[in-house]
């Protein structure tokens, strides 16, 4: 069970994991050692899954985002595992979600330019059979973030 201080610590760390413990401790009114122990407990209990660095996509050479909507005629577990392996081997596919509704999956693909989508598409369809793929190019990012609400954490 976590309390409001823990939630505040989680909120601070997910916005910037490099925030010094001294700053976090001050913001949540704890001693540095008590704050450090809480962070360690949050890591051990799985609230903090990992700490990562978020790269600037422009500087990394992949400023373009394409969302690929995928339909498949296959829904067996072995096909899903094959699909999972195929998308895991393509670094440009940075997110994948199984959906309800008209399409089965949505893939977030980051690219150096829109023309590179065909390269990624060909790699994917060589690995796994798909019924239909429809792609949409992101024109503008209106909101982007990795922080999740901490109010629901128990």
Give bridge partners of residue 133 from the DSSP assignment.
70
Same domain, 69 and 27: no
Global pTM value: 0.89
Name the pLDDT band for 146 (thresholds 50, 70, 90): confident
Average pLDDT, the chain: 96
Give the total number of structural domains in the chain.
2
Provide the CATH number for the domain around residue 11.
1.10.10.10
Give mean pLDDT, residues 105-109.
Answer: 98
Same domain, 63 and 38: no
Provide the CATH number for the domain around residue 61.
3.30.70.920
pLDDT, residue 1, reads 87
Domain span holding position 11: 4-44
Is the pLDDT assigned to residue 47 strictly greater than 90? yes
């Amino acid at each position: 069970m976590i309390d409001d201080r823990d939630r505040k610590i989680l909120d601070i760390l997910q916005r910037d994991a490099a925030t010094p413990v001294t700053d976090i401790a001050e913001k949540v009114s704890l001693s540095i050692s008590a704050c450090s122990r809480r962070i360690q407990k949050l890591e051990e209990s799985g609230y903090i899954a990992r700490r990562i660095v978020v790269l600037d996509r422009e500087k990394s050479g992949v400023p373009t985002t394409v969302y690929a909507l995928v339909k498949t005629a296959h829904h067996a577990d072995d096909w899903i595992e094959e699909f999972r392996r195929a998308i895991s081997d393509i670094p440009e596919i940075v997110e994948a979600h199984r959906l309800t509704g008209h399409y089965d999956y949505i893939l977030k693909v980051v690219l150096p330019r829109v023309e590179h989508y065909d390269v990624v598409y060909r790699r994917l369809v060589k690995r796994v059979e798909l019924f239909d793929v429809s792609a949409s190019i992101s024109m503008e990012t209106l909101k982007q973030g990795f922080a999740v609400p901490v109010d629901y954490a128990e």
